[in-house]
């Protein structure tokens, strides 16, 4: 049996405004004073807790995250990708269905219409603009969901462009940030098989925007303009 990975928690020490990373389960900490869940949707949870902890649990916020281990490259065909999408557990997408159906996170929605929904990523605290991370989830298109990059064709270009412009408009209105400060990208493979766009600042070089799984929307659109079946015909390299 493989060892269970402990989750990573972000928090502050007393009145220190820096965000620290705690790599131990908070319930392993001693002398917990208070713990309260203030956000929950499926497997996603946020909670606050007060506890006395020892230094071994603290990782310096200045210490950069690093990829460790051997990276291997696999070439994946369209058929292999669709098989993965077909087999993806419905349970793992329940949290997103909760948002679409109006059960969860309705107060967090920035904008929605019949085609897509714009919402901050739940991991962003909504305060530190440098870490801003906005998502645009696409609703059903002609009666079914576009599940991932592989299912995009030339007919989706207008939808993608319209969604991007609406996200930029919302970001400008709410956060007073210009579109030329952002990158727009699609993860492949995705963490959830319902197509969505990511928006983050160009100077935010976090792992979720790395080239190994992030495809810039501008490049995606150009590829589709050249060949409507680009993402069906071509094998994509995956790093693991």
Q: Give the Cα separation of 131 and 18 in Å (integer).
A: 13
CA atoms within 13 A on the CB side of 154: 5
Q: Are 187 and 210 in contact (CB under 8 A)?
A: no
Q: Give the Cα separation of 83 and 149 in Å (integer).
A: 14
Q: Give the Cα separation of 17 and 23 in Å (integer).
A: 19
92 secondary structure, DSSP code: G
CB atoms within 10 A of CB 215: 18
Residues 6+ apart with CB under 8 A from 240: 71, 72, 74
Q: Is 215 a catalytic residue?
A: no
Interhelix angle for 217-226 vs 157-175, to 10°? Answer: 160
Residue among 44, 156, 196, 208 flagged as catalytic? 196
Rounded to 10 degrees, the C-alpha dihedral 105/111/115/119 comes to: -50
- Cα 28 to Cα 22, 24, 52: the distances in Å are 11, 7, 11
Q: Give the Cα separation of 230 and 220 in Å (integer).
A: 9
Q: Give the Cα separation of 204 and 4 in Å (integer).
A: 30
Residue positions annotated with a catalytic role: 196
């Amino acid at each position: 049996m493989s060892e269970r990975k402990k989750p990573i928690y972000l928090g502050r020490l007393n009145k220190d405004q820096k965000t620290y990373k705690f790599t131990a389960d908070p319930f392993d900490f001693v002398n917990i004073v208070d713990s309260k869940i203030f956000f929950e949707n499926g497997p996603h949870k946020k909670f606050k807790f007060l506890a006395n902890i020892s230094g071994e649990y603290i990782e310096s916020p200045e210490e950069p995250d690093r990829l460790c281990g051997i990276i291997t490259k696999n070439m994946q065909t369209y058929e292999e990708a669709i098989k993965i999408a077909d087999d993806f557990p419905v349970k793992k997408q329940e949290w997103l269905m909760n948002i679409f159906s109006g059960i969860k996170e309705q107060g967090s929605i920035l904008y929605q219409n019949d085609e897509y929904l714009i919402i901050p990523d739940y991991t962003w605290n909504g305060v530190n603009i440098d870490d801003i991370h906005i998502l645009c989830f696409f609703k059903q298109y002609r009666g079914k969901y576009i599940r991932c990059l592989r299912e995009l064709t030339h007919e989706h270009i207008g939808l993608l462009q319209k969604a991007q412009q609406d996200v930029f408009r919302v970001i400008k209105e709410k956060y007073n940030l210009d579109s030329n400060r952002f990158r727009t990208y699609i993860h492949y493979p995705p963490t959830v098989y319902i197509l969505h766009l990511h928006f983050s600042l160009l100077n935010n070089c976090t792992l979720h925007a790395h080239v190994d799984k992030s495809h810039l929307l501008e490049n995606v659109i150009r590829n589709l303009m050249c060949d409507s079946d680009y993402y069906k015909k071509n094998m994509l390299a995956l790093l693991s």
